[in-house]
Amino acid sequence: MKNISFFAALLALPSIALADDAAKAKLMEIGKANFAVCAACHGPEGKGVVMGAMKMGPTMEASKIVNGDPAVLALVLLNGIQKEGAEYIGPMAAMGATMDDEKLAGVMTYVRNSFGNASSVVTAEDAKKFREQWKSMTGPVSRAKLTELGEKK
C-alpha cells in the first residue's frame, strides 16, 4: 500500500503542474482581452500613452504596484488611483464594477506577467478576497494611502 501511494504521488505531481500552467494560460488570455480597456491609457505594450508633455497613464513595466503586494494592485484597480496629478491628464477611474472576479484576476495576472514583469498569478478566489478586503474603502488610492499600506507590511 505504501508503495502504491508513493507512486500515485509521483504521478500526481506533473499533473498538478500542468493544471497550474493551464489555469495561468487561461487567466493570461482573459487578462490580455480585458487589457484592451487599459491600453487606451497604458498602451498595448504597457508603456503608457504619451500626449505631448502629459501622459494618459504610467508604464506597467517594473511598476512596484503591478509587481508588489497583489492586494494593493487589486485596490488600485477596484478604486482607481490619483497620486501625482500634474504628470497625468486625469486620474485613473475605479474599475471594480466593470470586471467580475475572473476578469480582475486575469488582468492582474496579465500585467504581472507581461511587459517584462514576472510576478505571481492571481486567481479568481484571490480577487474575490481582495474585493471583500477593500469593500469599505472609498475613493481613489492616494499617495498617502500607498505610503500607509507600504508601512503596514
Cα dist. 48→42, 43, 100, 119 in Å?
Answer: 4, 5, 25, 20
Stretch that binds ligand HEC, among 8-16, 22-30, 83-91, 118-126 (CB under 6 A): 83-91
Quote the DSSP letter at residue 88. B
In the complex, the smallest distance separating the C-beta of residue 22 from ligand HEC, rounded to whole angstroms, is: 23
Instruction: Answer for the pair 78, 95: CB distance below 8 angstroms, yes or no.
Output: yes
Q: Indicate the residue among 12 and 89 with the shorter CB distance to ligand HEC.
A: 89
Taking CB under 6 A as the rule, does residue 66 contact ligand HEC? Answer: yes
CA dihedral 19, 61, 150, 108 (to 10 degrees): -30
Taking CB under 6 A as the rule, does residue 95 contact ligand HEC? Answer: yes
| Interface with ligand HEC (CB under 6 A) | 37-38, 40-42, 56-58, 63, 65-66, 73, 76-77, 81-84, 88, 91-92, 95, 107, 111
